[in-house]
């Protein structure tokens, strides 16, 4: 929301926002609103002023005070049991997601939370996950009070249905780090014990020492094989059983070949074996895996409808209202939905004035008025006063949930075979062929060398460098893309991005800037009082235009006059009276002659009149993201682009102009139609990227090969997808696509490089003269050069692609 | 030369002690959050000394 004038450049001591309409001076400090001042006062009273020392203006602007019973459901025993990780009579533990944390001061304040709320014993922040674990005494402070107090200082916890489902499993990461640690430990020790072999003093050592070192090496290599390498072996085994070949098959062949040959040498020939190469290989592979995996802990790519739904509803049992978990709702139950809450299940309206905003589900932003007895669908947001509904379905069977679950594991089937696996397949066949040929050759000329040559081929051909180039190229590229605002879920997502041929856009929130529209006020004789009345009227309506006007007039931050006889005429506007004057806010013919000087293109005009006389008019312009035309035409050079909008076709012309095409621009699309459209493209063999936001695109995002969800705040809401694109990075979209292609090319080049090393290794191997020293030199060198090559090339590519924009 | 057996044995034991302490550190979630502790250690201790303003910026 742009404000035209800024009176003076004073920023709020608490939150750093410019102090404008409601400049508050308190103890010689400037505050932008009473909310910020009261937080400051509260912190000061609790001796927590240090908060302001660790970062400049660390505070979070607190919005309008939430309804007092907003967190009432937290008193419910069954909901508490789901949220708490531990509870006894005077000790309880809970872990809450606090997405508002953003700086060192936040950490300090949350960790000193016990000073603010008596009864809190300890609080510990995990900033990376934006989480805090609280230990408190339920005798002194309730969970509800704790959460309310957090919300009061601006750190409202993210509480939704998802937080009550099972906690995510963090064992995966623990296992990987343990595997790396163990492999690293064994690698180091085996290398030390192998030194005599490297220096060729092995021959001079007595047999006693040689076999001692050999047995030790064997003992150290066992855990590497059994524990650290287990994932590769299992994956390869599964692939073989399913009669497919992936990258893990040649890796496992190499690992097993090294292990068996070395064991044989150690026990039967008194030699040293290649255990060092084995543990080094496993160690490097695991490090690569870790590098690739360690991406964005704090982002959630798996959000489903649960993360949008409230935890509980107020169930009406006769006269008594009771909070129950939403999964407990049965068809026939009556429950209350308050203003601003989401309807959790399909239901019929029993009582109250329902104005439902289905923008979450359909993308259509106008609120729908529903009559008593009519059906309401899950996902709608009530914008009017509180209503009473009767459930017709349970949560699991509602339309929205059904949409989500309908395609189940279809995606698994037509998952693209990754480039690595394709290479792995060819590679495996070639290596087997060479090994067998070498074996056959020596069978004829020197049968004693057969085993030696065959195992050496398998060892040297182990695609270590090949397997490393992927994780390092992709891991590095994902990290670099993250710096510019594209957060990819995993390497597979980046791989698919490089192969995309069709791109489908959503309109609202993706190409337009969601709620961020410019509101321009043309004043005729708008007094401050009139302005306040307009703000009061607009804030009582749930209509999107009203909301934008209310926001532009800062309705939330100021006391508003008590207007009477408020009435909303659907499709026309708002009527109200104040101090004997009749006010109207709405379309031109509704609010009286509205003499707009000129009707701006692509803008909605709202007139404001007092006693039939126009006093102001607001023109509201949906703002498209900057550089949209260039962006689309840029993408059109390489991709087929489409537009799917849940909105009506009022902006059709504008969109045709932007896209430079008439076909492939569809309006009035419902979520399942969007999904169908994407599915149809995919059936035609197109690799499709869907770029959208909000729940209405969720099904299409899930259906597409690459779902990118656009979000203003990546730590907050974003539907399940393969990537989250911050709105700051939106203008880089063509660069991201281009970058992904270049990364794939880098990987291809690195493959060529590693084949070169394999060729050299094979040269020794087929002759049966591969010594441990050559293996110990060749393998790390090939790995290191390949890793260095891909890391450097992706970084240079990133610099070239994004550097010229670095200013903005 | 027999000392070699002993020395290698000792060095392995020492190395295993470090391996175990590493595993313990992983298990006690010290690698879960690599940012917060770096900030936490800079916080002043309990009592606020009024004149001490060096911490800002």
The b/e string for A203-237 (b: 16+ C-beta within 10 A; e otherwise) is: eeeeeebbbbbbebbbebbebbbebbbebbbebbe
For B21, nearest residue in chain A (alpha carbons): A181
For residue A74, what are its two tokens?
């937290």
- pLDDT tier, A234 (very low <50, low <70, confident <90, very high otherwise): very high
Residue linked to tokens 């869907």: A690
**Interchain contact, B35 vs A128, CB within 8 Å:** yes
Return the higher-pLDDT residue of A710 and A298. A710
Q: Which of A182-186, A423-427, A465-469 has the highest mean pLDDT?
A: A182-186
Helix, strand, or coil here: A642? strand
What's the pLDDT score for residue A353?
A: 77
* Structure token digits, residue A5: 């004038």
pLDDT reported for residue A338: 73
Q: Do A129 and B33 touch (CB under 8 A)?
A: yes
Interatomic CA distance for residues A3 and A553, integer angstroms: 9
| Both tokens assigned to A490 | 């995993």
Phi, psi of A220 (to 5 degrees): -75, -30
Report strand pairing: A24-26 vs A29-31. Answer: antiparallel
> Which residues, at least 6 apart from A628, have a Cβ–Cβ distance to it below 8 Å?
A511, A658
| Residue bearing tokens 């076709």 | A649
Tokens of A454: 């065959």
This model of the complex carries an ipTM of: 0.78
Residue for token pair 């509180």: A386
pLDDT at A302: 58
CB atoms within 10 A of CB A324: 20
Nearest to A258 by CA among A233, A237, A295: A233
Partner-chain contact A170 B15, CB within 8 Å: no
User: Do the Cβ atoms of A50 and B19 come within 8 Å?
Assistant: no
CA A496: distance to chain centroid? 17
Q: Provide the terminal-to-terminal Cα distance of chain B, rounded to the nearest Å.
A: 61
Q: Which of A129, A181, A189 sits opposite B12 (nearest CB)?
A: A189
Taking alpha carbons only, the member of A461, A551, A474 closest to residue A764 is: A461
Assess B2–A contact: CB distance below 8 Å, yes or no: no
Q: Which residues on chain B are in Cβ contact (under 8 Å) with A185? A: 15-16, 18-19, 22
Residue A4 φ/ψ, nearest 5 degrees: -70, -50
Q: Are A229 and A282 in contact (CB under 8 A)?
A: yes
The 8-class DSSP code of residue A269 comes to: I
Contact with chain A for residue B43, Cβ under 8 A: yes
Cβ–Cβ below 8 Å for A111 and B48: no
**Amino acid A200: pLDDT:** 66
pLDDT averaged over every residue in chain A: 77
Q: How far apart are CA A734 and CA A738, in angstroms?
A: 6
Q: In terms of DSSP bridges, do strands A486-488 and A723-726 run parallel, antiparallel, or are they unpaired?
A: antiparallel
Q: Do residues B37 and B25 lie in contact, with contact meaning Cβ atoms separated by under 8 Å?
A: no
**What gap in Å lies between CA A797 and CA A609, rounded to an integer?**
58
Report the C-alpha gap between A681 and A703 in whole angstroms.
11
Residue of B nearest to A132 (CA): B36
Pairwise CB contact (< 8 Å): B26 & A107:
no
Strand partners, A503: A641, A689
Contact A128 B22 (CB under 8 A): no
> In what helix (H) or strand (E) does residue A40 lie, and over which residues does it extend?
helix A34-45
Residue in chain B closest to A173 (alpha carbons) equals: B32
HSE-CB for A142 with a 13 A CA cutoff: 12
pLDDT at residue A408 in the model: 43
pLDDT in tens, A721-745: 788 888 778 888 888 999 999 988 9
The pLDDT of residue B54 is 40
Q: Tell me: pLDDT of A654 over 60.
A: yes
What's the pLDDT band for A223 if we cut at 50, 70, 90? very high
Q: Collapsing DSSP states into helix, strand and coil, what is residue A792?
A: helix
Most A CBs within 10 A among B3, B18, B40, hence the mutation to make, goes to B40
Angstrom distance (rounded) from CA A195 to CA A198:
5
Interatomic CA distance for residues A484 and A703, integer angstroms: 26
Got the DSSP string for A704-734?
A: SSEEEEEESSTTS---S-SEEEEGGGGGGHH
B55 and A50 in contact by Cβ < 8 A? Answer: yes
Q: Residues A775-796: what's their mean pLDDT? A: 85
Give the distance, in angstroms, between the CA of residue A312 and the centroid of all CA atoms in the same chain.
Answer: 25
What is the three-class DSSP state of A271? Answer: coil
CB B53 within 8 A of CB A49: no
Under DSSP, the state recorded for A267 is: I
pLDDT digits (tens, 9 = 90+) for A675-700: 888 888 888 888 889 888 766 777 78
Residue A358 CB contacts under 8 Å (≥ 6 apart), including other chains: A364, A368, A377, A379, A380, A381
C-alpha pair distances (Å), A103 with each of A19, A76, B24, B43:
22, 33, 29, 13
Contact indicator for A465, A753 with CB cutoff of 8 Å: yes
Q: For an interface test with B, which of A57, A125, A296 has the most B Cβ atoms less than 10 Å from its Cβ?
A: A125
Query: Degrees (nearest 5) of the Cα angle A687, A691, A693?
Result: 145
Q: What is the DSSP string of A508-569?
A: TTTTB-TT--EEEEEESS--HHHHHHHHHHHHH---HHHHHHHHHTTGGGS-----EEEEEE
Q: How far is the C-alpha of A148 from the C-alpha of A157, rounded, in Å?
A: 9
Q: Which residues of A touch B (CB under 8 A)?
A: 47, 49-50, 52-54, 56, 104, 107-108, 111, 125-129, 170, 173-174, 177-178, 181-182, 185, 188-189, 193, 209, 212, 216
Q: What share of chain B is helix, strand, coil (3-state, %, to 5)?
A: 55, 0, 45
Flag whether the pTM goes above 0.90. Answer: no
pLDDT at position A233 is 92
pLDDT above 90: percentage of residues in chain A: 5
pLDDT of res. B52: 40
Residue A667's φ and ψ, nearest 5 degrees, are -115, 175
Q: For residue range A598-650, list pLDDT tens digits in order.
A: 455 556 677 888 887 777 777 776 667 777 888 888 888 888 888 888 766 66
Q: What is the spatial distance between Cα A723 and Cα A181, in angstroms, rounded to a whole number?
A: 30
Give A129's contacts in chain B (Cβ within 8 Å): 32-33
Distance CA(A666)–CA(A87), nearest Å, equals: 53
Q: In angstroms, rounded to a whole number, what is the distance separating the alpha carbons of residues A125 and A110? A: 7
Structure tokens at A181: 């640690």
- Asked whether the predicted pLDDT for residue B14 surpasses 60, the reply is yes
């Amino acid at each position: 929301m742009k404000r035209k004038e800024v009176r003076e450049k004073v920023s709020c001591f608490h939150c750093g926002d410019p102090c404008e309409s409601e400049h508050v001076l308190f103890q010689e400090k400037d505050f932008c609103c009473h909310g910020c001042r009261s937080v400051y006062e509260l912190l000061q009273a609790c001796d927590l002023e240090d908060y302001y020392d660790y970062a400049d203006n660390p505070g979070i602007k607190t919005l309008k005070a939430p309804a007092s019973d907003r967190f009432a459901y937290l008193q419910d025993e069954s909901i508490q049991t789901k949220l708490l990780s531990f509870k006894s009579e005077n000790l309880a533990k809970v872990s809450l997601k606090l997405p508002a944390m953003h700086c060192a001061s936040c950490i300090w304040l949350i960790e000193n939370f016990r000073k603010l709320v008596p009864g809190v014993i300890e609080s510990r922040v995990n900033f990376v996950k934006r989480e805090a674990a609280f230990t408190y005494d339920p005798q002194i402070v309730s969970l509800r009070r704790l959460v309310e107090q957090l919300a009061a200082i601006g750190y409202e916890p993210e509480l939704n249905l998802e937080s009550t489902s099972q906690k995510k499993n963090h064992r995966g990461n623990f296992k990987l780090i343990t595997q790396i640690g163990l492999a690293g430990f064994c690698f180091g020790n085996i290398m030390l014990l192998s030194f005599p072999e490297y220096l060729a003093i092995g021959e001079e050592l007595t047999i006693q020492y040689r076999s001692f070192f050999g047995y030790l090496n064997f003992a150290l290599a066992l855990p590497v094989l059994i524990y650290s390498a287990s994932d590769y072996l299992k994956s390869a085994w599964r692939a073989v059983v399913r009669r497919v070949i992936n990258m893990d098959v040649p890796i496992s062949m190499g690992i097993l070949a090294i292990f068996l040959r070395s064991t044989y040498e150690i026990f039967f020939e008194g030699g040293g074996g290649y255990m060092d190469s084995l543990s080094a290989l496993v160690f490097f592979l695991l490090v690569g895996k870790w590098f690739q995996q360690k991406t964005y802990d704090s982002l959630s790519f798996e959000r489903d409808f649960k993360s949008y739904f409230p935890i509980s509803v107020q169930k009406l049992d006769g006269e008594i209202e009771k909070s129950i978990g939403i999964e407990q709702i049965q068809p026939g139950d009556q429950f209350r939905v308050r203003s601003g809450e989401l309807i959790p299940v399909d239901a019929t309206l029993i009582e109250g004035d329902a104005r439902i905003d289905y923008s979450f589900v359909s993308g259509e932003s106008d609120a729908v008025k529903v009559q008593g007895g009519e059906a309401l669908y899950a996902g709608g947001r009530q914008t009017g006063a509180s209503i009473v509904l009767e459930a017709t379905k349970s949560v699991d069977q509602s339309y929205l949930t059904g949409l989500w679950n309908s395609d189940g594991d279809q995606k698994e089937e037509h998952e693209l075979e990754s480039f690595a696996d394709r290479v792995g397949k060819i590679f495996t066949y070639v290596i087997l062929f060479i090994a067998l040929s070498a074996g056959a050759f020596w069978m004829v000329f020197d049968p004693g060398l057969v085993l030696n040559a065959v195992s050496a081929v398998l060892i040297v051909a182990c695609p270590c460098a090949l397997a490393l180039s992927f994780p390092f190229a992709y891991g590095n590229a994902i990290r670099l893309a993250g710096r510019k605002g594209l957060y990819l879920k995993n390497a597979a997502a980046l791989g698919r991005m490089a192969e995309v041929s069709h791109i489908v856009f959503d309109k609202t929130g993706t190409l337009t800037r969601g709620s961020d529209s410019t509101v321009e006020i043309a004043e005729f004789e708008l007094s401050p009082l009139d302005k306040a009345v307009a703000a009061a009227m607009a804030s009582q309506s749930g209509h999107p235009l009203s909301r934008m006007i209310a926001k532009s007039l800062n309705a939330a931050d100021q006391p508003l006059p008590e207007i009477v006889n408020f009435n909303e005429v659907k499709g026309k506007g708002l009527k109200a009276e104040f101090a004997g004057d009749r006010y109207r806010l709405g379309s031109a013919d509704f609010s009286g002659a509205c003499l707009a000087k000129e009707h701006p293109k692509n803008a909605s005009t709202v007139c404001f009149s007092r006693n039939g006389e126009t006093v102001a008019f607001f023109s509201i312009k949906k703002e498209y993201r900057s550089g949209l035309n260039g962006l689309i035409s840029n993408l059109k050079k390489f991709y087929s682009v489409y537009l799917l909008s849940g909105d009506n076709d009022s902006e059709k012309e504008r969109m045709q102009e932007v896209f430079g095409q008439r076909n492939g621009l569809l309006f009035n699309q419902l979520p399942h139609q969007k999904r169908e459209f994407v599915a149809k493209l995919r059936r035609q063999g197109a690799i499709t990227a869907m770029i959208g936001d909000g729940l209405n695109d969720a099904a299409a995002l899930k259906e597409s090969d690459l779902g990118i969800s656009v979000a203003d705040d990546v730590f907050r809401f974003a539907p399940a997808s393969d990537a989250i694109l911050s709105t700051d990075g939106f203008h880089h979209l063509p660069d991201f696509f281009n970058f992904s292609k270049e990364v794939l090319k880098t990987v291809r080049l690195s493959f060529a490089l590693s084949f070169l090393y394999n060729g050299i290794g094979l040269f020794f191997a087929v002759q049966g003269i591969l010594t441990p020293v050559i293996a110990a030199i060749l393998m790390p060198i090939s790995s290191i050069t390949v890793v260095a090559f891909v890391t450097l090339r992706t970084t240079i590519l990133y610099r070239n692609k994004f550097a010229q924009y670095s200013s903005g | 030369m027999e000392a070699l057996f002993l020395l290698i044995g000792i060095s392995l034991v020492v190395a295993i002690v470090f391996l175990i302490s590493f595993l313990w550190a992983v298990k006690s979630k010290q690698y879960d959050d690599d940012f917060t502790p770096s900030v936490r250690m800079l916080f002043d201790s309990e009592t606020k000394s009024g004149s001490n303003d060096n911490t800002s910026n």
